[in-house]
Amino acid sequence: MIKNLPIGLLFLIFLIFNIIDIVTSFFILPGETNVIFILTNNIYLLTIFKILIVCGAFWIYYKNEYPTHFSRFMFISILLLANLGLILACYGNIQGILNPEVVQLGAELSQGQKTQAYFSLMTFIYVLPLLFSLLSFKIYEWSLK
């Protein structure tokens, strides 16, 4: 049963692209750039971590209790930006599957280079937009007082 259609759709997209990301990751292991995989070199640990994240997001969605408008907005923002990141990750994985030479080039990068690239991408795609949107909402709330 869908408790909240817009958030439910965001969660469904989040779930689908996490599954695609997990499955496609197994085909590009030498070129995988997820920092958890880079640090542990364990795809199963990464898979378990992603499953826990999806379960946590489902619990928040299913509970459907947000103490403030800000917390609801924050959850929506996190899902929206996570979906953008996952779509890009899946696209990259699929490109790696279709072009093994790209995976080979990625495999030749050092752990530091992969980690730096991952954090740069996450900062640009996820962290900065999230901070700006949350700050905008807080200023909006403040302006109502």
* pLDDT, tens digit (0-9, with 9 covering 90-100), for 2-35: 789 999 999 999 999 999 999 999 999 998 889 8
Phi then psi dihedrals of residue 109, to 5 deg: -75, 150
d(CA 107, CA 130): 30
CB 32 within 8 A of CB 38: yes
Residue 1 pLDDT? 64
pTM: 0.87
